[in-house]
Amino acid sequence: MAAFDFIALDKPRQSDLDRCVHCGLCLNSCPTYRELGIEMDSPRGRIYQMNQVARGEAAIGPSYIEHIDLCLACRGCESACPSGVQYGRLVEAARAEIEAATPRPWHERLVRHVVFERLLPSRFLLRLAGRMLWLVQASGLQKMIRSLGLLPGRMKDLDRLAPPAEMPDFFSSYGRVFPAEGSRRHKVALLGGCIANVSFARLNEATVRVLTKNGCEVHVPDGQTCCGALHVHAGIRDQARKQARQNMDALLGQGFDALITNAAGCGSTLKEYHDLFEGDPAYGAKSHEFSKLVKDVNEFLAAMELNPNLGPVRRTVTYQDSCHLAHGQKIRAQPRKLLQSVPGLTLKEMAGSDICCGSAGIYNVLHTDMAMGILEKKMANVNRTGADEVVTANPGCMIQLRAGTCQHGSGQPVKHVVEILDESYAAFRS
Ligand code: SF4
Ligand code: SF4
């Protein structure tokens, strides 16, 4: 059989572009427009530029690339749009078209190849990188460099955004099955992520504990790999497809009731695998089957009757909506419901909780100044709540918000919803 041609899927579709009626109701929900006040850095302006390229009225040149690159792909505009414009799909496709049309200098090509095609899908290389980072952090070298003030301005920001390394990593749990506590209600698979396996190993373990407490037999399938979300956001769709095929082959047909992720950014892409394979005779139907099984951990737990053995967690927290949970997956009430089920916990809402914190995958590393400007405003809202902790639902947001609480707050801890539940179960005394 001839290989399926994905070219039509890898550029903005005219039918998607045509949904925009240029009303501008999305502008105020766009962090880059709020920051810069420039129409071309608003959702409406970006769609206008995509239309120009689609009609052949403008070239894919430096100006277009800059405005599309500066988008956080946070999809805040998608929630605000009354016409149902699927902006996330548009910007991802625009980036894929740019990727295909723009020859990059050799050093950029090399970095992208190493990061996206070698490091992220490789368990061996992620473990190696994690161990090296752990050595730098555990040896005190990182602390010394910080205290001596050896890092210049931008490097200081990048250092604050460096993911932590946790030992042992979560890859050591791959291939394991964790039995349900009490009678088994569900058989689920946990997707460990890529960087999260070394930077959020304890969060993944907490996720396993909370799920098993709630009657889930948790499998961590050995054949899984990075979901490809970072690739899709960067326009590197063929590599994303390669990884998606591996995940579908490894996870479908195993009798799982759900494929669970604790990372909102991954969840959006996993639930939209069908956008990558539309019409593909080999994986088109499978991608729909796969996407239907994917559940964010908040969504999954909030839909069941929770194990009530929750102990007190006496703190006030505020919740930051992860963009790919609130806007990408329309999941807003569920994490709040879970937090409100914890005895002793007070949830204080912040203004603009569903506006991006500036993390956006690796956006904060590529566009550090913009990301830090957005973060500063976010932290003003966090601080106004007076909360002891910030809670969110995505590891990438946790890194960004931790940088924010250190730089603009009082160092408030930043936790995942699941970590609060885990703490509450641990505090239960019968
Ligand atoms: S995805 Fe976010 S940053 Fe991009 S245009 Fe929409 S609201 Fe603005
Ligand atoms: S994306 Fe939606 S809200 Fe924004 S200008 Fe177009 S139709 Fe209006």
Report residue 141: phi and psi, to 5°. -60, -45
Q: Please provide the average confidence, as pLDDT, over all residues in the chain.
A: 94
Residue 158 has pLDDT above 60, yes or no: yes
Interval between CA 70 and ligand 1 midpoint (Å): 9
Lowest-confidence region among 104-108, 129-133, 350-354, 381-385:
104-108
- CATH for the stretch 7-101: 1.10.1060.10
Query: pLDDT-derived band of residue 372, with 50, 70 and 90 as boundaries?
Result: very high
Above 60 in pLDDT, residue 1?
Answer: no
**Nearest one of 6, 70, 34 to 360, comparing CA atoms:** 70
Q: Does the beta carbon of 367 lie inside 6 Å of ligand 1?
A: no
Which ligand has its closest atom nearest to the C-alpha of 26? 2
**Interval 111-140 mean pLDDT:** 92
Residue 75 reports pLDDT greater than 80: yes
Relative to beta strand 414-416, strand 258-261 is unpaired
Domain ranges of the chain: 7-101, 316-426
Strand duo 346-347 + 316-319: pairing? parallel
Question: For ligand 1, is residue 363 a contact (CB within 6 Å)?
Answer: no
Q: Does the beta carbon of 47 sit less than 6 angstroms from any atom of ligand 1?
A: no
| Closest atom of ligand 1 to CA, residue 73 | 1
CA 231, CA 324: separation in Å to the nearest integer? 15
Instruction: Choose the residue to mutate in 46, 69, 71 for probing ligand 1, maximizing ligand atoms within 8 Å of C-beta.
Output: 71
What's residue 203's pLDDT? 98
Question: Per-residue confidence at 154, pLDDT binned at 50, 70, 90?
Answer: low
Return the residue whose CA atom lies nearest to atom 7 of ligand 2: 20
Strand partners, 177: 219
State the CATH architecture for 316-426. 3-Layer(aba) Sandwich (3.40)
Q: Which two tokens stand for residue 180?
A: 């349900």
- CB 228 near ligand 1, within 6 Å: no
Name the band, by pLDDT with cuts 50, 70 and 90, for residue 349: very high
For the segment 299-320, what is each residue's pLDDT rounded down to a tens digit? 999 999 999 999 999 999 999 9
Within 10 A of 96 (CB to CB), how many other CB atoms are there?
A: 25
What's the DSSP call for residue 118? I
Q: Please tell me if the CB atom of residue 20 comes closer than 6 angstroms to any atom of ligand 1.
A: no
Cβ–ligand 1 distance for 357 under 6 Å, the answer no
Residues paired with residue 318 on neighbouring β-strands, in sequence order:
390
At residue 48, the pLDDT reads 98
> Measuring from atom 2 of ligand 1, which residue has the nearest CA?
74
| 265 within 8 A of 396, measured Cβ to Cβ | yes
> Residues near ligand 2 with C-beta < 6 Å?
20-26, 43-44, 47, 77, 80-81, 83, 85
pLDDT of residue 2 exceeding 60: no
Mapped onto helix, strand or coil, the DSSP state of residue 85 is: coil
- Whether the per-residue pLDDT at 19 is higher than 90: the answer is yes
88 CA to centre of ligand 2 in angstroms: 13
Q: What is the pLDDT of residues 224-273, one digit of tens each?
A: 999 999 999 999 999 999 999 999 999 999 999 999 999 999 999 999 99
Q: How many angstroms separate the first and last alpha carbons of the chain? A: 62
Whether 157 shows a pLDDT value over 60: the answer reads yes
Contact between residue 222 and residue 191 where contact means Cβ atoms under 8 Å apart: no
More confident residue, 367 or 83: 83
Residue 217: predicted pLDDT: 98
Residue with CA nearest ligand 2 atom 4 = 26
| Pocket residue to mutate for ligand 2, from 17, 22, 42, most atoms within 8 A of Cβ | 22
Helix spans in 29-69 (H): 31-36, 43-54, 62-69
Mean of pLDDT values over 215-228: 98
Q: What is the structure's pLDDT at 153? A: 67
Question: Please, which pLDDT band fits residue 329 given cuts at 50, 70 and 90?
Answer: very high
Query: For a pocket test of ligand 2, which of 17, 26, 90 has the largest count of ligand atoms closer than 8 A to its C-beta?
Result: 26
**Does the pLDDT value for residue 294 go beyond 80?**
yes
Q: pTM score, two decimals?
A: 0.94
- Nearest CA-CA partner of 301 in 210, 183, 402, 430: 210
Residue 328: pLDDT band (50, 70, 90) is very high
Length of the chain: 430
Among 28, 71, 81, 86, name the best residue to mutate to test ligand 2's pocket (greatest count of ligand atoms within 8 A of Cβ): 81
pLDDT for 173 beyond 70: yes
pLDDT higher than 60, residue 421: yes
- Atom 2, ligand 2: which residue's CA is nearest? 81
* pLDDT value for 137: 85
Same fold? 7-101, 316-426? no
